[in-house]
Structure 1
Amino acid sequence: MTDHFVILTLLILAHVVGDFYLQTSRSIKSKSSQGAKTSILANLRHAASHTLLALIVLLFTSSFEFTLIWASLVIGGTHFVIDLIKSHLPKCKGSLLCFSIDQLLHFIVILSVWAYLFGYFTFINIDTLRHATTFEFVSVALAYLLILKPTSILIQFVLRPWRLSSNADNNNQEADEPLDKAGSLIGVLERFIILTLILMNQFTAIGFVIAAKSILRFKDESKHEYVLLGTVTSLAIVLLIGLITQLLLTY
């Protein structure tokens, strides 16, 4: 029998193939159609492809059991329900949050089915969680949480005086809001990558991440200073948190 974790990887691979390579833009449009029949049929076809892919993986990697058929039907059936609900939520159209939640739910289902099939639920209990909650785990988790929302809020406070001055001069706050939101997201991704590199002792690679900011160009020259201030503040915070975390891990 194939290693259990290889089977989990293959199930996730099957999901990626079914969701991103076998699904056309036409089928996506049909799934969110206002016509109930068209929408249900499109979602059924899509869910059927996931059921078939999951069944192929399970039959290929395990000895035949009727449980595998039921497991595949659970993966396909829940995929149908999740996608049908998402397709008819107006605010979900083009939403990154909905897309992320959708994929997370699919992954949880696949992980749960896999854990049930191979008996991993029996290992999940309070004692297991207590042993897994080590000082190293808590330190790393805290570091990642600190460099996300708390750091973003701190950077906003640092940039606020400059921001207010800029708005008073240019009077185009609404026009700059999309840029600020995009910049905030870039900053979060940048800090996540830098912290990961610090914890991996790949300090040289951090220079390439910072260098990527040099390609930014603005018609308003004052924005260069705004972006530079935000970048330096963000970098200083993540370096401080990363180095402290690394020190704690080696203590």
Structure 2
Amino acid sequence: MKYELVLALQLILAHVVTDFLLQSEKLIEQKRTKKARAPFLYFHAALAGLLTYLIVQDWSMWLIPVIISVTHFFIDLWKLHKNGNTLKYFLLDQLFHILVLLGVWLYLTDNFDAVIPFITDLLSSKAALVIGIGYLVVIFPVGFIIGLATQRWQDEIAQEDELTSLKKAGRYIGIFERILVLTLILTNNFSAIGFLIAAKSILRFSDKGKSGGRKQTEYVLIGTLMSFALTIIIGFLMRVLVF
């Protein structure tokens, strides 16, 4: 177990150093501009494999850095051709790199045979199912319910040209706050939820004096309280089922 953990950390370290520490904005711009003709793209891909080889120090596994370099090259090239300077393509790029590292880790630790049993056990675990479903519910259905419940107030504010918040900002704030609240409930940190409510209330009431600020503040607080209430209820139901 210790070897497996150390190996995973070594692979992650090599990737983080290669992809984030050893790339300057100038070199990244060279890749974006020249794509497959960028010399740094080839150097960067080779460095990904070489650094992994040096950090892992398993000199007999020379094929591993080759695989990492080749896959790193094609993943980065795919992202460049997608003009992927967005969060979506950044996350996809990192996901593909992580999947490659996961495959390498499974190969080096001889754990390929354990993948299917692990997935089977996970899908058969009551705790895993409850937690997974709980987070999905607070992220998606709860947000949809709150959106429908507060739609009339949102329309009222929009008609008066008083809706001045960033586009979809409220949705993402709600998602993150529900994830945070649910996590606090599941980890027995109930007091921290009060601080979250207080902090958000202070931020929102700071806009109260602005034109149309009162209506928008009331609208946001209604949504916030609904979000917190539903998440707390779901969190306690999960605790009853799991603990």
Taking structure 2 as the reference length, the TM-score comes to 0.89
Could you list the runs of 5+ residues in structure 1 that have no partner in the other structure?
none
- Code of the residue aligned with 1:199 in structure 2: it is L
Residue of structure 2 aligned with 1:166, choices 136, 157, 161: 157
Counterpart AA for 2:5: F
**Cα deviations by residue, 1:17-74 (Å, 9 ceiling, x for unpaired):** 2111111111111111146422xx2211221221122111221xx4x31xx2211121
Which residue is equivalent to 2:133?
142
Cross-structure match for 2:33: 33
Matched residue pairs, number? 236
1:153 aligns with 2:141: no
Identify the match of residue 119 of structure 2 among 121, 124, 129.
129
Structure 1 residue aligned with 2:236, among 229, 238, 243?
243
Structure 1 length-normalised TM = 0.87
Is there any run of 5+ residues in structure 2 with no aligned partner, and where?
A: none
User: For 1:118-156, what per-residue CA distance to the aligned partner results, in whole angstroms no more than 9, with x for missing partners?
Assistant: 10002122x443323211110000001101121221111
- 1:74–1:36 Cα change, 3 Å: closer
| 8 A Cα contact 1:7 1:57, kept in partner | no
Question: Following the alignment from structure 1 to structure 2, what is the Cα–Cα distance between the partners of residues 49 and 207?
Answer: 48
Output one character per residue of 1:146-198: Cα deviation in whole Å (capped at 9) or x when no partner.
0112122111101101011112222x76xx4x624112111111111111111
Question: Identity of counterpart residues, as a percentage?
Answer: 35
Cα distance in 1 for partners of 2:47, 2:199 equals: 40
* Contact 1:147/1:191 (8 A) holds in 2: yes
Q: Match for 1:117 among 108, 111, 115?
A: 108
Classify the secondary structure of the residue corresponding to 1:33.
Answer: helix
Query: Once superposed, what is the RMSD of the aligned Cα atoms?
Result: 2.0
Following TM superposition, the consecutive aligned residue runs of length 4 or more in structure 1 with deviations greater than 6 angstroms are: none
Q: Does residue 71 of structure 2 align to residue 104 of structure 1?
A: no
Alignment of 1:1-251 (within 5 A): 3-34=3-34, 36-38=36-38, 41-59=39-57, 62=58, 64-65=59-60, 68-90=61-83, 92-93=84-85, 95-125=86-116, 127-133=117-123, 134-170=125-161, 176=164, 179-213=166-200, 214-216=202-204, 217-218=206-207, 219=210, 220-221=212-213, 222-250=215-243
